[in-house]
Amino acid sequence: MAAGECILYPCYFNAHYTRAEGRRVPRSLGVKGPVVTDIERALRKAGVPCRVEEHHHSSHWTRHEGRVIAEWTDKKEALIRKVAQKLEVRK
């Protein structure tokens, strides 16, 4: 991973997960069953360059959900919140 990149996993935005299971946003900003294409679409809406990879979160190694690498130099939490606000609501 190059400098200025952040890795985002679908579990960060899953409203049905607990914080211990990997959710990184408030439940109110989470969505039901997010996938990497949802995250990619939200990043593109926000004008953040990104690419999708077929890797998995270490805590969810059996799910093979994939991940998104975003070009971002600010704090990761700011990017996570920006993506969460752009995700389409599917509660």
| Length of the chain counted residue by residue | 91
Cβ(40)–Cβ(68) below 8 Å: yes
What value does the mean pLDDT take over residues 52-67? 83
For the ranges 57-61, 62-66, 84-88, which has the lowest average pLDDT?
57-61
What value does the mean pLDDT take over residues 76-90? 87
Per residue in 8-36, pLDDT (tens digit) is 999 999 999 999 999 999 999 999 999 99
Q: Across all residues in the chain, what is the average pLDDT?
A: 90
Domains and CATH numbers, the chain: 5-86 (3.30.56.30)
Band of the pLDDT at 91, cuts 50, 70, 90? very low
| Rounded alpha-carbon distances, angstroms, from residue 72 to 20, 31, 41, 67, 75 | 25, 22, 16, 15, 8
Q: Regarding predicted confidence, which is higher, 4 or 1? A: 4
Q: How far apart are CA 77 and CA 79, in angstroms?
A: 5
What is the model's pTM? Answer: 0.88
